[in-house]
Amino acid sequence: MADQALAPSQLSSCYELKLLILCFCLAFLLSSSAAEIIFEERFNDGWESRWVKSDWKRSEGKAGSFKHTAGNWAADPDDKGIQTYPDARHFVLSAKIPEFSNKDRTLVLQYSIKFEQDIECGGGYIKLLSGYVNQKKFSGDTPYSLMFGPDICGTDTKKLHLIYSYQGQNYPVKKDLQCETDKLTHFYTFILRPDASYSVLVDNRERESGSLYSDWDILPPRKIKAVNAKRPADWDDREYIDDPDDVKPEGYDSIRTEIPDPKAKKPDTWDEDEDGIWKPPKIPNPAYKGPWKPKKIKNPNYKGKWKTPWIDNPEFEDDPDLYVLKPVKYVAFEVWQVKAGSVFDNVLICDDPEYAKQVVEEIWTKNREAEKEAFEEAEKIRRAKEEVEAQKAREEGERRRRERGYDRRYREKERYRDRYRRRHHDFDDYHDEL
């Protein structure tokens, strides 16, 4: 039976149905692949209800605090973070977050920090904690799953920590990662993927990348050098060899190195009876080319420079879950600073690097020029204030020098008067005796 043609109204309904199904499928795909924001903290009003200050070091008077502020210079004074104060303290703060695992998905940890102070020596890193933690007793000894962020001390230490915990042991990254040291806001981003590869971004620019396998000494290496291997006897590592077809010219060895100078002439004053038979001086023979050597040609049997081969490491045992942290339950700051004043902000834990980049674009890229201007203006005010204080100090010093000079002159006059009185007193006694 032949297919019957569909009426125009039926065609329209069919098209609408297909379009509806397509939209539903796209919506499902988008919803299933949407980024999950596990935790995001911009430190708006009420932030203290989400964060717990530890009592660690409080009884010793060494526990610091956090001020809710945008700092001394900011693009937007209303965009506040938390700033460490006072100096020479431990700053310990943690927040409980929805428990999550990074198994089979990407982990993104990101935050911003601004070192407003001349930090001298102190940390600015962030931690992820797993398992139960008594937040009021959280300390530097509390185990963590990941530590990430800058640490500055003197002129030598300006590193970016990246410490990964595996089976209860902490492993620092082997690479030398450097942090920013100016007094402006910077975003630090760590990305860990299910294939155990990672990236470190600073202000949305990739600073470093690699793998947990190669950049940490967590597992034994997959490959090792065969230290007992020896170069095969027939291994030819000569890149060039003598040309076997090149033959030394006949009579080459009889070519003299020197010959009599054909331009030399016997002096007119030469007397053979007295001077002997005249012989012209010797000069280098231009026909002599040195000891004969055959030409060099490419060695057809050249195998390259022999290198110790790599072999499978018998001690290597892969862990496909190497990248998987223990289920994370807390995010925390635990740092010591000689000089306080660091502003922490914009904490983000998610599984989408693109969303993290978008946050940096919206905050840092948009505001960096305005923040620079605010910083430069604050520097002008600081330098002007320092100059006023320096001028006051100079004036005070001059006043004290004048006072010391007046006192010295006064004391000298008094000593002179005392000597005068004593002399006259002695003269009067002598006169009385007479």
* Burial grade of 27 (CB within 10 A; 0-12, 13-18, 19 or more): exposed
Three-state DSSP class for 259? strand
Q: 66 pairs with which residues across the strands?
A: 84
CB 79 within 8 A of CB 124: no
Nearest Cα neighbor of 123 from 376, 326, 332 is 332
410 annotated as belonging to a binding site for a ligand: no
Half-sphere exposure at residue 140, Cβ-oriented, CA atoms within 13 angstroms: 9
Q: 157 pairs with which residues across the strands?
A: 153
**What contacts 197, CB < 8 A, 6 or more positions away?**
209, 210, 211, 212
CB 169 within 8 A of CB 177: no
Residues, the chain, total? Answer: 434
In the numeric block, the tokens 């990236």 are attached to 199
Nearest Cα neighbor of 175 from 161, 165, 189, 187 is 161
> DSSP character for 135?
G
Alpha-carbon distance 6 to 338, whole Å? 82
151 annotated as belonging to a binding site for a ligand: yes
144 annotated as belonging to a binding site for a ligand: yes
**What contacts 311, CB < 8 A, 6 or more positions away?**
223, 224, 225, 226
Query: Tokens representing 183?
Result: 């007094």
CA dist 104 → 107, 146, 320, 323 (Å)? 10, 18, 10, 9
Q: Phi/psi at 405 (nearest 5 deg)?
A: -65, -40
Nearest Cα neighbor of 288 from 248, 257, 250, 259 is 257
Q: 399 pairs with which residues across the strands?
A: none
Give the helix, strand, coil percentages of the chain, each rounded to 5: 30, 30, 40
Question: For residue 320, is the peptide bond before it cis, meaning its omega torsion is within 30 degrees of 0?
Answer: no
302 annotated as belonging to a binding site for a ligand: no
CA dist 219 → 48, 195, 226, 317 (Å)? 40, 15, 19, 8
198 annotated as belonging to a binding site for a ligand: no
Residue 187, H or E segment: strand 185-192
Q: 147 pairs with which residues across the strands?
A: 127, 163
Binding residues are 125, 127, 144, 151, 334
Binding residues for an alpha-D-glucoside are 125, 127, 144, 151, 334
